[in-house]
Amino acid sequence: MTTEQDPAYEWTSVQDAPVREVFPGIRVRPLWQGDNGAKAAVLEMDPNTGWQGVDVHEPGPEEVFVVSGVFNDGARDYPAGSFIHAPAGSSHVPQTTTGCTLFLFYPEG
């Protein structure tokens, strides 16, 4: 067992991540991007907000973990603790009535 952190580890805190508003009341905080285009982010949605248009997953899939609140993909509600795998080529219309925080992972960019 090693007591020192592996120097290859990369880390950041959500509070330190830059904030970019993508639509009114919807903010993304990029956390990490890999050499192959993979990336991780936190998405914060205020109550009664929605994505403007359809969110299409290209070039690869999107992995979503609902950290807090209730997320709706345009078809159903996902409460905190839900995990959603959206395959490449699929789409949805992200929205929320309660507000929510999501952890997003894009394994292929």
Domains and CATH numbers, the chain: 17-106 (2.60.120.10)
pTM score: 0.89
- The number of CA neighbours under 13 Å toward the Cβ of 59 is 7
Element (H, E) at 23: strand 20-23
Distances (CA, A) of 17 to 63, 90, 96: 20, 28, 23
pLDDT the model gives residue 8: 78
CA distance 31 to 45: 17
- Mean pLDDT rounded to a whole number for the chain: 92
CA distance 98 to 77: 11
Distances (CA, A) of 24 to 1, 20, 27, 46, 62: 47, 11, 8, 9, 22
Are 109 and 37 in contact, with CB atoms under 8 Å apart?
Answer: yes
Q: For 35-49, how does the pLDDT look when each residue is reduced to its tens digit (9 = 90+)?
A: 888 999 999 999 999
pLDDT the model gives residue 9: 83
Q: Which of 52-56, 78-82, 92-96, 102-106 has the lowest mean pLDDT?
A: 52-56
Q: For 1-23, how does the pLDDT look when each residue is reduced to its tens digit (9 = 90+)?
A: 344 667 778 888 999 999 999 99
